[in-house]
Structure 1
Amino acid sequence: MWEYDKVTFSREFSRNIVTKLLVERAEHGGWELDRVRITADGTRRVTLRRKIIRQRLTV
């Protein structure tokens, strides 16, 4: 199973800044890039995902 997170960046953010922010989330939160959509006005809508790790109870 996957957990999803949607992030929106306005057009004022440069490509380098967006890349740095996404890399930071990937390194510290375990997120990976699922989808990027760039709208007509230049807004970036990014979908991130990460695996849900379920722990089993040990008795």
Structure 2
Amino acid sequence: MQMQSSVSVVRIFRLRRRAASTTLYSVCTYTHTHTYTLFCLVLGIALQEFVCSG
């Protein structure tokens, strides 16, 4: 039973990560400033690290 709940949590995290990366991508492509691109890159890496470790 506990295994089932952990699987669903992982699934939610994957969906959330996909949504977050899509949002990041659209924000990054919408704003063409170099600073924002760098910020998005750092944020994206940090987000992936958080999702993978958590």
- TM-score bracket, shorter-length normalisation: 0.3 to 0.5
TM-score by length of 1: 0.33
**Structure whose residues are more often strand by fraction:** 1
**Structure whose residues are more often helix by fraction:** 2
